[in-house]
Structure 1
């Protein structure tokens, strides 16, 4: 672009209410910052993707979410540079013709989740996907890879699509999921098509009274911080390379704006890794009482529960529950509650926006002073000193 020329006008057609889309947009911004490229970016004011009037767009280029068939159809025939972003496909015919396409590698996303569950000793597997609709082709691809992986290992791959979620139908949908959870052979590992779907599984496990991860281990895809915040049990999730997808898409469009021919180029971006949390850390327990007790502790440890309440939930006397904990976990019930509270506190201490008082209250300690006293007793240091040691 010549000196003094107005910046290129680029439309970003994404729904930024989804974490995946936000990360792609972040990657586009990172490319512009690193290269000092000047683009005049257009997005809807409410950050939703709308195609009304897009054929009259007087801009210079578009980066668009092609997982949305409405968007893909609206921009595919426009006479200006377009870069598509979306999920990968096994068949070439599923990609748009003549348009550069940056894809999240669905096979590797599912493979990472599947291998993680195998590493935790599980031998039964299920997939919680989405109803087979045009908007959900990416979920269908993840399901297809799941089926192939279990087939290759001569294992039964159980698939459940569930229902589209809506406020009016949520109660019925949750009951259906809970009934499915009760019917599954256990222990079992479940891969959810997204973190949002995985959160529904976690909620339904509470309804169905199914312990996570002792009977059902769950892995999502997206590493969505909002899902983590709203879940009583921390969710293990595959981290997509969405920011790298955004950077790559911006680079392709930059080349096209300067005369480069990128038509038909396919770039598959692998996942960054997996964030391992409590939901998938399956450990075979001899005692059903320990399984039920740990399920209760993960949900309510930070609310001030007592050992007697845990024993009541497990359906056994306190003394017998203590015997089972000593045998299976080599610790007391009180120690298990305390460990969960300390783990919760340490996660929040890593966030400078959360005050010490909030950390203490939200992790189940009655005061900052008491939290400090427990850290000194258990770790011989203050919470901040513990974090400093962990960093080094």
Structure 2
């Protein structure tokens, strides 16, 4: 992704597997009058990460004036997730949601330490963003095979409806073997695994930003019952849905899932005993 324009950055290209080349770089914001020429001169397709939603909105308006399609030619991502700005943009703007509650807590904690004449940390206190709120300004799949790209888009938009692989093939006609091979070569997983992954992503979002019971979360993500949500959730996250919600509410970043490996200790002995 390209950050903002200026004189001290460089622009390169990246290509990985079937991913189309996208410009990358770290640049400084131009004067407002220079934004139009900067966007016009960018190699396309390009992704732009703006420092805030207002600047991202201006970039999208500039793209409209230039006739540059968002997100097909220019994908735009803002910061702060100000819904009044994001929803007014055309198309709606994707944005990084900051963990403002945690930022406020850490600021108050530092102020308390300062007023109590206690030592302060020597390095900055970093607070990770909450998540990326995906909207249409980044709804692009950088895949050269247009049928595979269409299949991914269909899965993104309909995974929570309980779709199966045959539904994908009905929406994007091709041989099942072609679909399976394309997904494994491009993403390293099967179409079914991608459907499950998108359901879990939606489940994580609902667990984080709503108080819905886990049973309702399962229903809204396309699972027939809550048990199936639990079975699918743990391998991809390393924990139960309830624990994921608790960690998020405490302001902690959930750890990455443990990779399956050789069993050791009591679990290994129990497995061997079961086989015997």
Q: TM-score, normalised by structure 2?
A: 0.51
What is the match of residue 224 of structure 2?
A: 366
1:219 is paired with a residue of what secondary structure?
Answer: strand
1:350 is paired with a residue of what secondary structure?
Answer: helix
Alignment of 1:8-157 (within 5 A): 122-123=22-23, 144-150=33-39, 155=41
**Alignment counterpart, residue 237 of structure 1, candidates 88, 95, 116:** 95
After superposition, the Cα gap between the structure-2 partners of 1:221 and 1:215, relative to the gap in structure 1 and judged at 3 Å, is same
Alignment of 1:205-244 (within 5 A): 217-220=75-78, 223-225=81-83, 236-237=94-95
What is the match of residue 148 of structure 2?
A: 290
What is the match of residue 383 of structure 1?
A: 241
C-alpha contact (below 8 Å) 2:96/2:133 kept by paired residues: no
Structure with larger Rg:
1
What is the match of residue 117 of structure 2?
A: none
Alignment of 1:336-347 (within 5 A): 336-347=194-205
After superposition, the Cα gap between the structure-2 partners of 1:294 and 1:353, relative to the gap in structure 1 and judged at 3 Å, is same
After superposition, the Cα gap between the structure-2 partners of 1:333 and 1:357, relative to the gap in structure 1 and judged at 3 Å, is same
Q: TM-score, normalised by structure 1?
A: 0.38
Residues of 1 paired with 2:182 and 2:241: CA distance?
31
C-alpha contact (below 8 Å) 2:13/2:23 kept by paired residues: no
Q: How many residues are paired up?
A: 193
After superposition, the Cα gap between the structure-2 partners of 1:156 and 1:382, relative to the gap in structure 1 and judged at 3 Å, is closer
Residues of 1 paired with 2:77 and 2:182: CA distance?
28
2:209 is paired with a residue of what secondary structure?
Answer: coil
- Aligned-pair CA distance for 1:366: 2.1
Alpha-carbon displacement from aligned partner over 1:254-298 (angstroms, at most 9, x marks no partner): xxxxxxxxxxxxxxxxxx989645453866323222211111111
Alignment of 1:280 onto 2:169: no
- Aligned-pair CA distance for 1:227: 8.2
**Alignment counterpart, residue 315 of structure 1, candidates 173, 183, 205:** 173
Structure with greater contact order relative to length (CA < 8 Å, sep ≥ 6)? 1
C-alpha contact (below 8 Å) 2:87/2:93 kept by paired residues: no
Task: Looking at secondary structure, tell me which structure has more strand per residue.
Answer: 1
After superposition, the Cα gap between the structure-2 partners of 1:273 and 1:358, relative to the gap in structure 1 and judged at 3 Å, is closer
C-alpha contact (below 8 Å) 2:4/2:48 kept by paired residues: no
